Amino acid sequence: MTKLILDSTSTAQWHRLVTEAQACTAQQLDEQSESYLVFLLMRYLRSRELLRRVMALGYLHAMESSGRVQEERLRDVGDQCLMLAGLFPGQARRRRVGSDYFVDLGRSAYSQVQRNAAGGIGELYGTLAAQFLDLRDVLRALRAVPEPEGETLEAALRRMEQTASREPGTAWTPAGKIPGTASRRRH
């Protein structure tokens, strides 16, 4: 799968990669979950926020808050747990937690948002909680290179940046071109 992806926007490129990953895993996400996953990738692969968060503390702080702030904090915990479980599964071992830690905490965060949010938002997070393992598996299929034993998250993100091509906003992997991951090297 070393083909050039020529979609016009990074959103379209991520969508294509998520669609291909679904095919590789025989998963068929609904349109809403698929879109959520595309925008989740766009949001977090440009951020170092995953490096600074202790998930359990984030969950605790969320539960101590209320209303919209609580929903946003729980969403962030669920999103970050999904990214770690899917793209960086070795982080559980490095952080000395069980392999299902991020899955359980992420599902719990999304389920709590479902209980607290009204209408369609609550339904979305209920679906994300129910499909957490499927979403994780699709993210795992996106992984271009196996995570080396004991690699830190910072090193993994740096490794992803080092695969950047000369074309701005993209990176090459054995699975193809990944949008939005260009190296931030200073000249």
Place of tokens 């080396």: 148
Least trusted range by pLDDT, from 84-98, 114-128, 133-147? 133-147
pLDDT at residue 62 in the model: 95
Q: Does the structure show a pLDDT above 70 at 84?
A: yes
Q: What is the mean pLDDT of residues 130-151?
A: 79
| Domain spans in the chain, listed from the N-terminal domain onward | 10-179
pLDDT at residue 88 in the model: 86
Q: How far apart are CA 178 and CA 18, in angstroms?
A: 11
Q: Does the structure show a pLDDT above 80 at 50?
A: no
Q: Does the structure show a pLDDT above 80 at 116?
A: yes
Q: Does the structure show a pLDDT above 70 at 177?
A: no
Q: What is the mean pLDDT of residues 97-126?
A: 93
Q: How far apart are CA 144 and CA 187, in angstroms?
A: 27
pLDDT tens column, 22-40: 888 888 999 999 999 999 9
44 against 128, higher pLDDT:
128
**Burial profile 110-144: b = 16 or more Cβ within 10 angstroms, e = fewer:** bbbbbebbeeeeeebbbbbbebbebbbbbbbbbbb
Please report which confidence band the pLDDT of residue 144 belongs to, taking 50, 70 and 90 as the band edges.
low
The chain-wide mean pLDDT, for the chain, equals 78
Q: Does the structure show a pLDDT above 80 at 51?
A: no
The answer to whether 179 touches 14, Cβ cutoff 8 Å, is: yes
Q: How far apart are CA 57 and CA 105, in angstroms?
A: 11
Q: Does the structure show a pLDDT above 80 at 12?
A: yes
Quote the strand ranges of the chain, DSSP E.
Answer: 170-173, 176-179
44 against 130, higher pLDDT:
130
Determine what percent of the chain is predicted with pLDDT higher than 70.
70
